[in-house]
Amino acid sequence: MTPDLFEDGQCEVSVVRAGERERCMLTWRFHKDRSRSISLSGPFGTLEGAGDDLFEALNVIRRSLEGQGWFIAVQGARRNTWASGMLRDMIGARHVYVLEPGRDIRTREDWVDIFAEAEPDQLATVEEQRQYYREWQESARREWIPPSSAAT
């Protein structure tokens, strides 16, 4: 059964640092004012992040972890994932898109659960992820052919 996209929840996730791996408890909440919050409890204590969507809240926690050398090993922290405006507005960024250079995002097949496990070699800092997104935008624009031009 697929969890409701707007239910509070929790899951166990990994955090990694220089060959270390620790399991932590991640909890997310959807608030009545439409804001979202996340807490992560681990060897560094408990960190809290809040924002307009789960991706924004996750990035608050990621920035705190980066200062201590930790990375949270979830899909939302991969270099090549991003929450589009539509995913943020419609489902609170419970899913993120996997971005491929030169290829526009098309369907739900391009979505992954923001909190699903990711391999450590796929992870990036918040700034590295943002830079990848900018580069992806440029590559997708270069590959896009407007419908009116395709017929000529």
Is 148 inside any structural domain?
A: no
Q: What is the pLDDT of residue 107?
A: 63
Residue 151 resides in a domain: no
HEC string of 21-60? Answer: EEEEEEEEEECCCCCEEEEEEECCEEEEEEECCHHHHHHH
Residue with the two structure tokens 């640092």: 17
Question: Which domain covers residue 53, as residue numbers?
Answer: 9-142
At which residue do the structure tokens 């009545």 appear? 32
147, part of any domain: no
Q: Does residue 125 sit within a domain?
A: yes
Residue 149 lies in a domain: no
- On whether residue 4 sits in a domain, the answer given is no
- Domain membership of residue 16 (yes or no) is yes
The total of structural domains in the chain comes to 1
Task: Decide if 1 is inside a domain.
Answer: no
Distance CA 133, CA 127 (A): 10
Q: Average pLDDT of each block of 10 consecutive residues along the chain (152 residues)?
A: 65 95 95 90 95 94 96 97 73 79 69 93 97 87 50 44
